[in-house]
C-alpha cells in the first residue's frame, strides 16, 4: 500500500510476526476490495438499466465517465477505510513513504527487511522493521530534514533539531548513517574527583545554545529543578544540608532502605548532583534528562555519571522491578490530564523493585486540588509513607516531599 508500518517502541529494531490475525486481516481486505468492486459494478449496470431512456445514447461519453469516476471514488474511499481498519487492528501507525517530500535515506531506514533464512522458528518472526516513534508522522517535514545528510560524512550540526522532534513525541528518532560532531578537547578527571570538578567550556560544543560557557549558565534558572544548577559550589549543599523541612538528607533516606539500595533512577535530575551524591555512597544512579536550554547530558557525563537522553513521554527502557530507588521532583509534573501522570507513575512503579523507595523531593503543588489529586493517586498505589511532609516556602507555594515504599503485591 506504499506505506511502512511503524511501532511505538524503544528498541533499535522491531520484529513483525506473521500471525493468524494479520493473515485474517489480509483476507478480509481482499474480500472487501473484491466485494466493493463487484458492488460498484452492479450499481453501475443497474443504474444504466433503470435509466433506459438514456440507454440509446450509450455512446454518451460524458455520462459514462461520470459514472466511472463515481465508482473510482467509491473504491478509493473504501480502500482508505480499509487501510485505516488494518492500522487499527494491527495497532500500527504508518508513515506514508510514497509522499513526495520523504527523503530516500528515511525510506531506506524504514524499509522492511525479510529475514534471509525465512521464518525464524523460535520467534515466528519473518521480517525486521526499524523502530521510530509513530508521532514522527506528524512531523515528516522535520524528520526528512533530519534525515538529509551525506552518508559516511559529518552529520549536520543539528542536535537541536533532533531534540525538537523528540519534544514533538517523535521518539525514538531514526538511526542515521553520518558521523556526529565531536568536541575539541575533553580534559576529564578520574572518578570520584570528576564528581565536583568544574567542567571545561571546551568539553561542550555550544552551537544551538544561548549560553556559550558554563559561567554564563551559573546564575540561570533553567527549570524548577535547575536554579543555577551548573554552579557546583551551590550544588554541593544539596542532599547533605537541609534548608527547609521539605529537604531530606541522603543518609536518612538510605537508612530507610536498610542498606539495600544499590541502583537508582533520577527523573529530570538537573546537572546530576543527586547521582553524584549517590555515587559517593556507592549507589549507581542513572539521570534522565534532555538538553533543554543547556548541555545537561554533556555536563553529567563529564562528572563521570550516566545521562539518559529520553523524554518523560517515552516508556522507560528498563525491565520491571530493577531499581532500588527512584528520585523525582517537580520534573514529574507533566502537563495535561490526570491520566497522563498516571501512565508515568505506573511506568515508574513498574521499574521499581518491591520494597524499593520512591523519593518525591520538593514536588511543587500549584494549588490545593493538585495536592489532593496527587495524594489520592499515591494512595491508590498502596505505597507505605515512610516520610511525608507538606510544607510552604517563603513564596507561599506548597511543596510535597515524601519517601514512599513500594508494596510487595501478591
* Residue numbers at the binding site for ligand NAG (CB under 6 A): 57, 60, 62-63, 157, 181, 184, 198, 200-201, 205-207, 213, 215, 281-282
For residue 326, what is its C-alpha cell? 527512584
Helices 368-380 and 338-351 meet at what angle, rounded to 10? Answer: 40
Least CB distance from residue 149 to ligand NAG, whole Å? 12
Least CB distance from residue 56 to ligand NAG, whole Å? 9
End-to-end alpha-carbon separation of the chain, Å? 47
Least CB distance from residue 63 to ligand NAG, whole Å? 5
Least CB distance from residue 236 to ligand NAG, whole Å? 17
- Tell how strand 4-6 and strand 93-95 pair up: antiparallel
Q: From CA 240, how far away is CA 286, in angstroms rounded? A: 19
Q: Is 259 left (phi over 0), alpha (psi -120 to 50) or beta?
A: left
For residue 69, what is its C-alpha cell? 469516476
Q: From CA 215, how far away is CA 40, in angstroms rounded? A: 72
Alpha carbon 136 to its chain's center: 11
Least CB distance from residue 174 to ligand NAG, whole Å? 20
Provide the b/e sequence for 239-267 (b: ≥16 CB within 10 Å): beeeeeebbbebeebbeebeeebebbbbb
Least CB distance from residue 202 to ligand NAG, whole Å? 7
Least CB distance from residue 73 to ligand NAG, whole Å? 18
Q: Looking up cell 559550589, which residue turns up?
A: 233
Instruction: List phi, psi (to 5°) of 281.
Output: -100, 15
Indicate the residue among 123 and 198 with the shorter CB distance to ligand NAG.
198
Least CB distance from residue 214 to ligand NAG, whole Å? 6
Q: Is 152 left (phi over 0), alpha (psi -120 to 50) or beta?
A: left
Indicate the residue among 181 and 372 with the shorter CB distance to ligand NAG.
181
Q: From CA 356, how far away is CA 311, in angstroms rounded? A: 23
Query: Any bridge partners for residue 391, and if so which?
Result: 399
DSSP state of 317: S
Amino acid at each position: 500500500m506504499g506505506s511502512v508500518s511503524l511501532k511505538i517502541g524503544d528498541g533499535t529494531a522491531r520484529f513483525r510476526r506473521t500471525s493468524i490475525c494479520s493473515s485474517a486481516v489480509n483476507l478480509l481486505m481482499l474480500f472487501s476490495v473484491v466485494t466493493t468492486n463487484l458492488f460498484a459494478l452492479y450499481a453501475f449496470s443497474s443504474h444504466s438499466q433503470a435509466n433506459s431512456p438514456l440507454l440509446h445514447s450509450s455512446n454518451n461519453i460524458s455520462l459514462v465517465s461520470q459514472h466511472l469516476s463515481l465508482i473510482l471514488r467509491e473504491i478509493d474511499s473504501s480502500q482508505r477505510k480499509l487501510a485505516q481498519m488494518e492500522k487499527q487492528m494491527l495497532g500500527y501507525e504508518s508513515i506514508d513513504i510514497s509522499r513526495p517530500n520523504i527523503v530516500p535515506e528515511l525510506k531506506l531506514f524504514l524499509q522492511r527487511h525479510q529475514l534471509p533464512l525465512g521464518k525464524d522458528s523460535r520467534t515466528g518472526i519473518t521480517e525486521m522493521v526499524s523502530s521510530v516513534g509513530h508521532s514522527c508522522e506528524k512531523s515528516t517535514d522535520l524528520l526528512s530534514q533530519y534525515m538529509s545528510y551525506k552518508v559516511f560524512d559529518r552529520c549536520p550540526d543539528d542536535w537541536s533539531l533532533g531534540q525538537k522532534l523528540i519534544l514533538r513525541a517523535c521518539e525514538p528518532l531514526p538511526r542515521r548513517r553520518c558521523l556526529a560532531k565531536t568536541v575539541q578537547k575533553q580534559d576529564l578527571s578520574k572518578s570520584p574527583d570528576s564528581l565536583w570538578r568544574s567542567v571545561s567550556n571546551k568539553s561542550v560544543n555550544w552551537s544551538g545554545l544561548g549560553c556559550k560557557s558554563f559561567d554564563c549558565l551559573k546564575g540561570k534558572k533553567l527549570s524548577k529543578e535547575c536554579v543555577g544548577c551548573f554552579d557546583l559550589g551551590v550544588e554541593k549543599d544539596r542532599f547533605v544540608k537541609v534548608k527547609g523541612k521539605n529537604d531530606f538528607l541522603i543518609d536518612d533516606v538510605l537508612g530507610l532502605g536498610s542498606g539495600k539500595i544499590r541502583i537508582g533512577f533520577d527523573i529530570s535530575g538537573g546537572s546530576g548532583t543527586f547521582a553524584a551524591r549517590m555515587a559517593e555512597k556507592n549507589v549507581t544512579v542513572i539521570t534522565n534528562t534532555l538538553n533543554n536550554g543547556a548541555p545537561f547530558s554533556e555536563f553529567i557525563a563529564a562528572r563521570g555519571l550516566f545521562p539518559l537522553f529520553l523524554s518523560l513521554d517515552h516508556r522507560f527502557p528498563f525491565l520491571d522491578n530493577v531499581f532500588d530507588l527512584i528520585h523525582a521532583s517537580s520534573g514529574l509534573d507533566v502537563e495535561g490530564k490526570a491520566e497522563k501522570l498516571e501512565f508515568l507513575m505506573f511506568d515508574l512503579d513498574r521499574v521499581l523493585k518491591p520494597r524499593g523507595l520512591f523519593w518525591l523531593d520538593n514536588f511543587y503543588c500549584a494549588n490545593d486540588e493538585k495536592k489532593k489529586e496527587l495524594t489520592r493517586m499515591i494512595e491508590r498505589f498502596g505505597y507505605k509513607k515512610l516520610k511525608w511532609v507538606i510544607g510552604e516556602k517563603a513564596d507561599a507555594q506548597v511543596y510535597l516531599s515524601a519517601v514512599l515504599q513500594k508494596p510487595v503485591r501478591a
